[in-house]
Structures are given as structure tokens and as C-alpha cells.
Structure 1
Amino acid sequence: MPELLFPLDSSKKFTEQELVGHNRWHPDIPAVVTVKPGDEFRVDVREWFDGAIHNDDSADDVLNAPLSTVHCLSGPFAVEGAQPGDLLIVDILDIGPIPQEDAGPLAGQGWGYTGIFSTDNGGGFLTEQFPDAYKAIWDFSGHTATSRHVPGVAFTGITHPGLMGTAPSAELLARWNSREGALIATDPHRVPPLALPPLPQDAVLGSLTGAAFTRAAAEAARTAPPRENGGNQDIKNLTRGSRVFYPVFVPGANLSVGDLHFSQGDGEITFCGAIEMGGFIDLRVDLIKDGMSRYGVTENAIFMPGNEGPDYSEYLAFSGTSVTLDGEQRYLDSQLAFQRACLHAIDYLEKFGYSREQAYLLIGAAPIEGRFSGVVDIPNSCATVYIPTAIFDFPVVPSASGPTRIDPGRGAAHSAR
């Protein structure tokens, strides 16, 4: 096992640990540890809400989830010799749930969760059709996930970090705040908001204190979106065996990681669409000097997908085009086409006895394939959703005998408020 450089005690809150991570991006957050090119090391990672979501049959915790506290990031880790303009190579050697306990109150201790967030607290990809808070708990058995809230399915998770990236420079941070602030200004009262501005409330900035903390908290960027530094990309194939090339914007690169997922479908469509968990990740780092200009990788990370994951060979695919639910034609709107493909999959799974919320949670958490299949044939973009048929314990492909009706069980946990 590689040396554990960022330990977490499961009995303590994220802010009470021996080494405190962060939940905002800022160049002045001090590195917790310095490593050398070629080093391999282990990092403990807390689930993104630090234990606010519970293993129960209520979704009140999802309804009231404290978005101002996320994400709980481990790091930053400085890499000796890294300078702006370099490329930081990060190899994912291993990743998994919390290894210290078999069961416990934290996601990752034998279980994880998927949530549909209410429209006024984050929303999701299909928030207009699913405005209320729901939750599914998933139990882990080795690499397999099952749920009392979505019965009839079992699948192998592609375990991955939802969020990993390098620190922004002061200039890059200012650009983020400027462009996202301009977007918010176009519709400042929108629910959910168009972007999340800096918020000092609940900011965690590592070992920063005093005036330095106050200044940084007022301008530090929220960790919700992906950006030039990587960040919250939620790429399900960023798993064991992946190699990522991150642009370096500050001396040391200051790599951070968090938001581990046991499984996720392409798009993480419910917003908390992955199976969220805490756990560990083993990394190896190296450098390509002056790599940003040598390879033209100046704005966004590139990566080699991992070589592990479930070997599903048969899928049932659903397509969608860029026409709204009320029949309005949109011009090559690929996002809308993907929404329609997801809704068609949900409509289909309803015929087997699932509620719409169960179906939505399922295609957010299971390793579905989401694809933009045609983006040039005016006026309709075409997107597709591929669902592995082997995850179901009943026949799901259309036949002359009609859909098999399953017992949907207790259904997804719902907040009635």
C-alpha cells in the first residue's frame, strides 16, 4: 500500500481532522504535503457532504442538503519542481470505499446514495420534470451495488473521483469570477441559479487563518463546475488505470481530489446522480516540463480512460432529438436531445412497474452510456442513452408478451416537504 499522506478519522468531521482540506478553489490555499515526481501515495477522501446524508428511508436530508459546504476536497498536494506551464501527470492506481469499517454512518462504509435534488436546492438535469427531493440508498457487495429503493437491478460500479484538479492562478480565478458573474447577471433570480458566486459562508480553506482567510473566502471559487483546472468533471471512466494530464497554473501545481463515486451513468443526470461515497484513492504524479505549450493543452485536462470496469456487451438504447416536450423545434440543441433520450428511457422503465423517480435515480447511478449521436443534421441533433440489459434481473427487451411487471418495493425515499 502506498504511504497514506492525507488520513481521515471517520469519527470526526472534515474540519476537525489532523490535516484539513478545502471546499473552494484559491491559489493561496497552502499545500498540506509536498511530493516528488514519481511518488506514489494514498489519500483518504470524505464524501462530498461530510456525512449530512444518511442511510435511511427519508429524503429530508437531500431536501435540506447544505450546498454551501461542498465539496470536501483532500489536499492540496504540491509537486516538487512543478511550475506554471507544465503538465502534471496523475495516474489513478487504485480507488475504493472507506476500507477501515464494514458498516457505519458515513457513505462509503458499506453503502452510498444517489439523490434527486429539489429545484430550489440545486435541481438537476431534468428538474422541470422532477422538482422534488428523492433518494436511493445503494448497498455494496464487493464491486456490486444493489438498492432497497430501486429493486430488480444489480450492477458493477466504475469507481472514480468525480472531482480532481490543480489550483488556479490569481488571474485564472479572476476570469472565472468575471465570466460566471456576468452569466448570473443575465438572470440573477433564476431558480436554480445559473452559476454559484463566491460565498464566504461555510468556506474551508485548509490552514488559512485571519485576514488571509477573509480575503480568500471572499473571492474563492465554488467547486461545483468543471473548469480549466479539471475540477468537478464527473467522468465515469476516470477510474483505475487512468492517466490524466492537468495544466499547471501555480508553483507546485497544488493537486486536490474529492467527490468519490462508487458508480455513475454518463452525465450524472440527477445532479447527485452518482452513488456518492467516501473512501481512498492511490495516485502517482509526474511532470512534463513546459507541457502546456508543447502539446497545446492550455485550458482543459486531457486523459487516458481507465482499463477497468464492467464488461457489459448488450444494451437497450433510447434516442432523443432537439424538440421540446410541447413540440417546439430547437436548432441542433444536443443538451435537449440528451434530455429527451433520458425521458424516453424513464417512460420505458415505467412500463415495468418502476416509478418515474426510481427510473431517474437508476439511470443516474448505473453505468449507462450517454452519446451525442448526430450533431450536423439540421434542425435536429440526436442523442442516445445506452442501458446495459444485464443489470436487470428480469427481461427488459421488448417482446410480443409485453413488459414484465416487477414489484417496485417501497420506492424511492421522498421528502414530502
Structure 2
Amino acid sequence: MAPEPSEPRTVVHVDPFKTEVGQKGLHNRWHPDIPAYCKVKQGEVFKVECHDWTGGQISNNDNSDDIQNVDLTRIHNLSGPIAVEDAQPGDVLVVDILDITPFPNMQWGYTGVFERTNGGGLFSNDFDSKAAKAIWDFEGVYAVSRHIPGVRFAGIPHPGLIGTAPSQELLDTWNKRERGLVAEYGDPTPAVALVPNAQGAYIGQDIPDDVRKRIHDEGARTIPGREHGGNVDIKNLSRGSRCYFPVYIDGANLSLGDLHFSQGDGELSFCGAIEMAGIATLKCSVIKDGIKKLGDLKQPIFLPSPIDPMYAQQIIFEGLSVDVHGDGKQYSMDATVAYKQAARNCMAYIRKLGYSKEQAHLLLSAAPIESHVAAIVDVPNACVTMGLPTAIFDRDILPTDDGIETRKYTNAALRSDGVRCKQD
């Protein structure tokens, strides 16, 4: 008789209603000396509970003061590290993402626009960004928000951040090149790189004081994605996706967190996506000598989820590498400029529907927006497109001979002092 199925074990437990402080199995820096918190077998199905990326600093309320005052030295409280049996440097760690769900007793998430001087974001200088927020309630697979009325869409839950631990050599490489950026560009707003900073560092394990100090002083910040994976923010890494990560130390030491209920391509707000706390169900295996076998693997390979929301009809907005929304400057093949112009064109359309600048910014971060590099060879103008799904709105938003119907909506959650971003 076949054995009865058993519930997968939970290797990291988290209380999402408390800060990260005092909770075991969490860390917010990358360093090879952070010991594995737990170990899993190859082929074992296991669960990992994850805090939201700020460690519980954001509340389900109707103002954005918490976004304004968030402590960004404490962010990305990752669950792990999780050692995988028989993983060694030179191997490839294969991670199957079997499921991502919010906590049963925490069926909400948030999207935020950060202050230009505290975190900033892609449009922080364009808009002189001030804190704004949307709370999203989860209704099964759908998300709705009292702060962006008239919108409902299916989520694609995924880890914004997942990766293996670096070797000391790789960590030193990261720190050298990122310090080099700061040396070259100084201290602009927003920053060009975030170098090691002991303030806010957290390692939720009992380790010797000298090891803890070394990790705090040398540990790489978790904000950028790097060769090991990290903060990749790929919305298609949802249920059923598979990840191939280079292994740099014994056990691989997998960590993950920064869970999202939904996100658009590009996550154009720094606190973009619908951020949430939740539970990941994973399975791991190892390809021995996989780095060589997979073509001298320099960075991870991902197989996307076979489950995506079916939003066939989109309004496509084009963006070119010309700052048509600013000073008109011509840039040469700059896809970031082109992406920003596509987003600004899409935002202008959303605002014509009746939404505020803040709501347009938040919505394009949170909804399953598709963005593509359409052309990267036609000098001097790179072309990027952004697709806005029409079915996420509770009305027809297609262009007509009479133009676009404008409705009046309540606004996003703003600062309690009423200060907003620069308005057009």
C-alpha cells in the first residue's frame, strides 16, 4: 500500500506581524560567512515562510507616512540560507517554484512610491517624488484596491528576490565594482550604488561577534540583482517556474524573499509590485559541474511559469530614446530612456481616464503590464513598448472618435501633511 502523502516541512518560520528583529532564519545582507540556517535534501518538497521586504514597516491604512519614513537599511529580510545536500562550487542549483501564496491571515499587500530623497525610483527626479501608497486586498487570485478604484486583475505571485550565496571572491568583486561607481559618480539622488553599510544589517542566527561584525561590514546590500540571482524582480517566476543558479560555496545556501502578488515588467516604482508576506513551496536538485555543462554559466537561467493571466487585448504605448516629456534631449540607443517615455505615455492615458499621477505610477508598477524592447538597432532611437491590459478596468478604455471618457476617482494614500509629487 502506498504511503499517505505528508505535509511538506516548513524550514523557516516567520511572524509577518512582528519586525524581523529577534526572528531566526532571516538575513538582509549577502555574505559567504552567513551559515546555513537549515538543510534540505535533493528532491524534497519544502516550505519557506517569508517576511515582506521591509520587515513589517508598512501598515494597512490610508496614508503614506510609513512609506515616507521607511528605513531602507533594513530592507529585504530574506529567509535562509538554505543548504542543499551535495551542492558544491561549480555545480548548478535547480530550484522549482511550486507555489507562492500570501499568509492565510494576511490577505493584503501594498505598492508604494518612495520619496525622492529616501529611496527614490525611476521617476524620482522627473516627478520630485513624494510618498504615495496603494493597499491591495486579495480575493483569491485577484487583487483590488480602495486606493485605485475601478481596477481588478489576476496576480502572478513570485519571489522578487532569490539566489545563492556568493563566494568571498565574488563578494569582493561586487564591492569593488560598486564602490567604483560611487567613486566615479559621487552621491547623486537617487544613488548609483549602495555599498556595504553596517547600519540596519540583520543576521537572525547565533554567530560569533567577530563573524557578525565582518558580515555587517562587508555584506553586500540586497537591492540589485547580480551574478547569483538576487533581486531580479521577474514577474514570470511564478508557480511552475524553474531557476538554474550558479553555486559558489558548499551547500549553495539559497535565500529568498521580497514576495510579490503581482508586478508589471520593469517594476517602475522602487517599491513597485504588490509587496506581500507569504509562503513559498520549493524543490531543489543539483546538476554536478553544471556551470561548465550549461555553457560556462555566468548568470542564472529561468524557465517562466506556465500559468499567466490571460489578458490578450492591450493598448500598446511606444517610447523612444528621446526625452519628449522633458527637455527633448536626444539619447543614443538608451533603452532606459525609451522605457521611461513609454511609461510616461501610458501614464498620460491613464490620467485621462480620471486617475491621479500617483495612481498611474502605482498601477503600472503593480498590474501585469508587459514591456518589450521592440527595436535596439535603429540608430539613434531605441524603441520600447508598454502594453496596458484593457480587461483590468471595469469599463471600456479603448480610444473612440469622441476621445476618452474621464471619470472622477478618489486618490491613492498620500502623506498626512498633504504634500504630493510635482503635478503637470
Give TM-score, length-normalised by structure 2.
0.94
1:170 matches 2:176: no
Instruction: Count the aligned residue pairs.
Output: 408
**SS in structure 2 of the partner of residue 112 of structure 1:** strand
**SS in structure 2 of the partner of residue 14 of structure 1:** coil
Pairwise mapping of residues 116-135 of structure 1 onto structure 2 (< 5 A)?
A: 116-130=113-127, 131-135=129-133
Q: Which AA in structure 2 matches 1:311?
A: M
Take 1:348 and 1:261, find their aligned partners in 2: how far apart are those partners? 26
1:180 to 148, 170, 178: 178
Give the unaligned 5+ runs of structure 1.
102-108
Pairwise mapping of residues 224-263 of structure 1 onto structure 2 (< 5 A)?
A: 224-263=223-262
**SS in structure 2 of the partner of residue 145 of structure 1:** strand
Take 2:236 and 2:58, find their aligned partners in 1: how far apart are those partners? 25
**SS in structure 1 of the partner of residue 401 of structure 2:** coil
Q: Give 1:410 deviation, angstroms.
A: 3.6
* CA distances 1:170-195 after superposition (whole Å, capped 9, x unpaired): 00000000000000111222111110
**SS in structure 1 of the partner of residue 261 of structure 2:** strand
Paired residues of 2:88 and 2:248 also in contact (CA < 8 A) = yes
Partner of 1:23: 28
Give the unaligned 5+ runs of structure 2.
1-6, 420-424
Partner of 1:106: none
Which deviates the most, 56-65 or 86-95? 56-65
Pairwise mapping of residues 10-409 of structure 1 onto structure 2 (< 5 A)?
A: 10-17=16-23, 19-99=24-104, 101=105, 109-130=106-127, 131-207=129-205, 208-324=207-323, 325-409=326-410
Paired residues of 1:14 and 1:20 also in contact (CA < 8 A) = no
Take 2:403 and 2:412, find their aligned partners in 1: how far apart are those partners? 23
Paired residues of 1:150 and 1:412 also in contact (CA < 8 A) = no
Relative to structure 1, is the Cα distance of residues 211 and 307 closer, same or farther in structure 2, using a 3 angstrom cutoff?
same
Q: Give 1:94 deviation, angstroms.
A: 0.8
Take 1:364 and 1:44, find their aligned partners in 2: how far apart are those partners? 24
Which deviates the most, 83-92 or 32-41? 32-41
Take 1:10 and 1:395, find their aligned partners in 2: how far apart are those partners? 38
Partner of 1:105: none
**SS in structure 2 of the partner of residue 263 of structure 1:** coil
Take 2:405 and 2:17, find their aligned partners in 1: how far apart are those partners? 45
Q: Which AA in structure 2 matches 1:43?
A: V
Q: Give 1:405 deviation, angstroms.
A: 1.8
Paired residues of 1:112 and 1:276 also in contact (CA < 8 A) = yes
RMSD: 1.2
Take 1:380 and 1:297, find their aligned partners in 2: how far apart are those partners? 33
Take 1:359 and 1:186, find their aligned partners in 2: how far apart are those partners? 34
* CA distances 1:223-266 after superposition (whole Å, capped 9, x unpaired): 00000010000000000000100000001000001000000000
* CA distances 1:364-393 after superposition (whole Å, capped 9, x unpaired): 100000111000001100000001100001
Which deviates the most, 405-414 or 158-167? 405-414
Paired residues of 1:115 and 1:136 also in contact (CA < 8 A) = yes
**SS in structure 1 of the partner of residue 36 of structure 2:** coil
Q: Which AA in structure 2 matches 1:236?
A: K
Take 1:60 and 1:13, find their aligned partners in 2: how far apart are those partners? 18
Paired residues of 1:149 and 1:413 also in contact (CA < 8 A) = no
* CA distances 1:289-331 after superposition (whole Å, capped 9, x unpaired): 0000111253210010011121111111100100012111111
Q: Which AA in structure 2 matches 1:63?
A: Q
Take 1:4 and 1:299, find their aligned partners in 2: how far apart are those partners? 31
Give TM-score, length-normalised by structure 1.
0.96
Q: Give 1:10 deviation, angstroms.
A: 3.9
Paired residues of 1:358 and 1:412 also in contact (CA < 8 A) = no
Paired residues of 1:32 and 1:76 also in contact (CA < 8 A) = yes
